Amino acid sequence: MRIGFHMSICGSIDRAVDRALEIGCNTLQIFTRNPRGWIARPLRNDEVEAFILKVERNDVRPVFSHMPYLPNLASPKNDVYAKSVEALIVEMDRCERLKVPYLVTHLGSHLGYGAKRGLERIVRAIDKAFSAVGGRVTLLLENTAGTRNSVGGRFEDLQYIIERTSYPDRIGICFDTCHAFAAGYDLRTEEKIEEVIGKIESTVGFERLKLVHLNDSRGGLNSHIDRHEHIGLGKIGEEGFRSILRSRFARLPLILETPRNGVRSDLDNLLKVKEIAGVKP
């Protein structure tokens, strides 16, 4: 199993690899810059070289980057939209330089202007970014919790984007368990999980899944509440994760984005996943 966490890059990007290895991860996800601002600090040559060396030497793979928080690829506001597309281009460039093969993005909010308009904006944003950036980075569309005005709570939304982009071969899916559950996809039994997998197969295709964000949910089924919980302590529950970890989802890289609130450490959550999956720590 490939299991890891979203890791801090505090100090230097390569330190994220050190932090992952300290708790026994063999994959990881990062922000390549401050996720709460529009401006990205230029990457230093020394940290780029150190990051690549540590990833390759320790067989940490695959590595995932995540888009920062501010960009909204579905925004109807032209100024925000232009900045969001530019942020996507910059992030793709940074991934290329760091040899990070996958970039995860949230799809954003249509702000009340309608889901179809938001989806069309996303398609144009993706096409513009790929036309501006060469290389081999795969963009992973992350499903959302279906919060008000958000885009991507249904697999049909992701299918719409893939079918209309000029670059379908460069698009994959990141499946977030918390978001899916909050959006109405039940993950608490093997039977329900197979139904979800069938839905994925009939829309985007299961082969497009490249990553699972393994998170429990504080909100209930179809609550549209985007709040992550420690593995087994939320509404999906330990039995739900036992079923998830017996399914085809477990063959994919698993990245945890569990809370950092003192209830459990990252290491404790990692050990809990291995315990549920029957993997020796």
**Residues acting as catalytic residues:** 36, 66, 69, 106, 142, 176, 179, 213, 226, 228, 257
Q: Are 110 and 74 in contact (CB under 8 A)?
A: yes
Instruction: Supply 206's token pair.
Output: 């299961």
Amino acid 95 reads: C
- From first CA to last CA, the distance across the chain in angstroms is 11
Instruction: Supply 236's token pair.
Output: 């999906």
Neighbours of 263 (CB within 10 A): 12
Dihedral sign for Cα atoms in the order 62, 64, 171, 185: positive
Amino acid 248 reads: R
Instruction: Supply 41's token pair.
Output: 């600090």
- Distance between CA atoms of 104 and 228, rounded to whole angstroms? 17
Instruction: Supply 40's token pair.
Output: 């990205």
Judged on CB neighbours under 10 Å (0-12, 13-18, 19+), 270 is buried
